[in-house]
Amino acid sequence: MGVDVPATNEGGSGALAGVRILDFTWAVAGPTATMQAASLGAEVIKVETSLRLDVLRRSVFTGATTNRQKRAVTLNLRHPTAVELAKRLAARSDVVAESFRPGVMDSLGLGYEALRQVKDDIIMLSSSMAGQRGPYAKFAGYAPMFVALSGLGDMTGYADGPPTQIRVGGDIIVGVHGGFALLAALVHHQATGQGVHIDLSSIESQSNLIGDSILEYSVTGRVPTRTGNREPGMVPHNCFPSAGRDQWVAIAVGTEAEWAGLVEAMGRPEWTADPRFATVALREQAADEIEELVAGWTAGRTAIEATARLQAAGVAAAPSYQAPDLLADPHVVSRDLQATVPGAGQEWPLLRLGGRLAATPLRLDRAGPAMGEDNDQVFADLLGLTETEIKELEADGVFT
């Protein structure tokens, strides 16, 4: 069926130009990892099916963002011919990524050992809630479960409130770990010519964010608790109300010089001379009172006004932005954060990823594609299928 073409992805630009990734990931965590690779220049071919709709497809905004720079094909992996085509695509790829429960890819005939038979140096990223082995390995879970089990949820929130599960942010944390692991695996392959199976646990990715708290417990036996927006050794350290509806300014004061700057910016109110506030240690004991007094000052001016006065005095402060504020900010505009690019038949104003690479700029010229948008191109150009063969496979339900 068809004529195979060379495996190498020679087109494109970027640090990962020449790398091809066959992407079976779904939801947010796995697709975030491959999205980073695509932005670095890798060719990413997203494989999905209408029989089990990717949750990314439930929001056109999430799909346009997280599937940026990718090509999209459909394969009904319940069909043996679709599995055969998937293996042929894998044989012409450098990386296969998936984010199903452990065992699912094996049951489809597309597990790591099976793919090594078609390409012995394949890199495979398997991202799951709890990793590929252990008592929780086959548990189902989304970001709130990752965060809850990791301990991060219990460290997030206010002291007098419940643990806070950070939802999509938890997925993105996993995706960043996955992107890093992919880069490490590609460097390893470059040095040795060997493939590798990456076992990425979402729980462990979250736990790494509170390594210091876990270390504190391991050494002292004390269980660290959530403290809201507070930070040890810094007072004030919080978001404070400012003039206007639901407007806030973030302020963080750590050193004596910063405290002096805060006092100066506020016009040296009488309460700042209270000896109970004379040192960082004393201010920590009186944090509630101090932050209430600071809030009284911020409430009388806009977040922008408060920020300008505090920054002029050497105090770390910034308005807490909503979307309109962010996109109108002159600094953000000067950094060219947003770019309008085509995708799925329309234009999308997407945000660029963080970082500016001078020699190999991050790519942003295509939003997430429509489902199956690249079927004809991928299967014709990469696997050499004829137009007639593609139509026959469509009729047979292979591309559902």
Residues acting as catalytic residues: 171
Whether the CB-CB separation of 143 and 166 falls below 8 Å is answered with: yes
Whether the CB-CB separation of 372 and 76 falls below 8 Å is answered with: no
Q: At what angle do helices 256-265 and 303-312 cross, to 10 degrees?
A: 130
Burial of 311 (0-12, 13-18, 19+ CB in 10 A): middle
Pair type for strands 123-128 and 196-201? parallel
CA distances from 204 to 12, 151, 219, 260 (A): 34, 10, 20, 41
3-state secondary structure 166-198: CCHHHHHHHHHHHHHHHHHHHHHHHHHCCCEEE
- Classified as helix, coil or strand, 200 is strand
CA distances from 327 to 161, 293, 330, 332, 335 (A): 32, 31, 8, 7, 11
Which tokens is 32 given? 């975030």
Report the C-alpha gap between 75 and 400 in whole angstroms: 6
Q: Which residues pair with 198 in a beta bridge?
A: 125
Half-sphere exposure of 393 (CA within 13 A, CB side): 26
Reference 206, options 182, 171, 180; nearest CA is: 171
